[in-house]
Amino acid sequence: MQKCPRNTRKKAVTTTLHAISRLLLPLLIVAAWTACSDSAPLPDGPTAEVKIATRAGTDIPYPILFYAFHSETGEMAASTQASSADDAISLSLPAGNYRLVAVSGVEECSYPQSPTLDDLIRMPETACTTRPVMMGSADVSVSQNTTTDITMYYSVAAMTLTLQGVPQEVEAVKVTLADLYNAMDYRGDYSGCATATLPCTRQAEGEWTTPATYLYPGCSQKLHLSVTLTRPDGSQTYGYTHASNLKAATPYRLTGSFQEGFTVNGSLSAAGWEAIQEASFVFGLEENGTPDSPDDSEGEETEYHETEILPTPGSIWQGHFVADTLLIAPNEAILTLLSLKEWRGVKGSDEASNEAQALVDSYTEGEWSKWSIPTAEEARRMTQELAGNSKLSTSNTLLAQAGGAPLADISEHDDEGNSVRYLCEGGSKTFYWYASPSITATYTNRTYYLRAVKHIRVKQSDNNP
């Protein structure tokens, strides 16, 4: 680790980027930013020179854009970019607190030249790109000796699709994926909802493929995929609705075979990004050419629990706190319950142990067991529903009435003096209980708070409108 000389008033920031592994693409990039100063803070007015040096392997997706945002206002303080690993870059920043953000793979996207933290990186009209978008961030104070590690994650899912046995008379094939986010801000939070169109070309007799294509994750819990075949006498569409949507940092490799309808069996291979998932897709054509109905038994709770009214987020239902409500029919919904219990001082997961998972695995609340750690997407949905001063205050009042622990907002600090962050994504990431949750990776030298979630499928009683 670099040591900062005490007799200098300059702040040196060193960025080291290296690929952890290589399969389809570099899978993880770690950036270490070291901000150095002597013990006394800089006075108002003068600026400090922040030097950035990049060192990386040849496969890093350059250019990498670097931004420093004021922590309090979200306004950009400075920016620069590295076009290659050999670039030496410097920034001048006054003393203060900043959010450092590194972004790459956005050449096909649209974004402001001088963004704020809330500005958006938008997908093109096709809602997909040929380069993966990556982002990493860290909070840093340029007033004392500071070392901050930034881990850049893929902000997108990767999709490749091969269709085999396509009739020879087919002139064109179009593949679309619906219900995907189409924008992401510089905090890493997604927004918008769009349908992506994947380019599909004929490779050999009866075989059509899409190249590796990158998409933001799903904006709903289900993925709607359709394949349109164009023949001289017209077009036909084959569709499927899957119970779960795309997730960031996960490559999806699907292979379909045509037999008057598509059967697509795919391994959702993590290829070092995330844990491997298995899925089976069946395409069939109804008379009107619309997608088939989803198999509701896959990926969701199948047992209904009757209720007089459908609970809303931020309410108490049968003694449990409802953090999110997803309508799946006019009188049906999937509830996300948030545990009344809160754990503190919990370490993030690593290859050796997962303290958070062990805690939720053993947790029961009332009649229900089998709780889980929130996913990053669930963290975003819950904070959108419940964060903010008035909403959080109301939620904490209800939690107290149910005998639960209050939620900590972004202004509160843990016993180590850090802003309170909650674990998500299997214990590998954390978030603020705030309208912009700022989801980032865990650090090995600190601990976090934890709440568990439970999904319950409910149906409004027939004698209620």
Q: What is the pLDDT of residues 191-216, one digit of tens each?
A: 888 889 998 999 988 899 998 899 99
Query: What is the distance between the alpha carbons of residues 36 and 7, in angstroms, rounded to a whole number?
Result: 11
The secondary structure of 234-265 as a DSSP string is EEEEEEEEESS---TT-EEEEEEEESSSEEEE
pLDDT in the model for residue 462: 67
Q: Are 278 and 431 in contact (CB under 8 A)?
A: no
pLDDT in the model for residue 301: 43
pLDDT in the model for residue 317: 93
State the DSSP H helix or E strand holding residue 210, giving kind and residue range, or none if neither.
none
Which CATH class, in words, describes the domain spanning 11-154? mainly beta
Query: What is the distance between the alpha carbons of residues 426 and 340, in angstroms, rounded to a whole number?
Result: 19
- State which residues of the chain have pLDDT below 70: 1-60, 85, 88-91, 143-150, 240-243, 259-304, 328-330, 351-353, 388-389, 462-465
Query: What is the distance between the alpha carbons of residues 416 and 138, in angstroms, rounded to a whole number?
Result: 18
Output the six-digit token pair for 434.
Answer: 């705030």
pLDDT in the model for residue 241: 67
Cβ contacts of 25 within 8 Å, gap of 6 or more:
59, 61, 132, 158
- CA–centroid distance for 20 within its chain: 20
pLDDT in the model for residue 135: 86
- Three-state SS for 105? coil
- CA–centroid distance for 230 within its chain: 35
- The CATH number of domain 157-282, selected from 3.40.47.10, 2.60.40.2630, 1.10.10.1100, 3.40.50.970: 2.60.40.2630
Q: Are 100 and 138 in contact (CB under 8 A)?
A: yes
CA dist list (Å): 273 to 153, 177, 211, 212, 276: 9, 21, 19, 15, 9
pLDDT in the model for residue 389: 60
CATH 2.60.40.2630 in the chain: give the residue spans. Answer: 157-282
> pTM (2 decimals)?
0.55
pLDDT in the model for residue 149: 61
Backbone Cα Rg of the chain = 24
- Where would I find the H helices in 352-452? 355-361, 376-386, 389-401
Q: Strands 97-104, 134-141: parallel, antiparallel or unpaired by DSSP?
A: antiparallel
Q: Are 53 and 41 in contact (CB under 8 A)?
A: no
Sign of the CA dihedral running 298, 277, 227, 216: positive
Query: What is the distance between the alpha carbons of residues 257 and 148, in angstroms, rounded to a whole number?
Result: 49
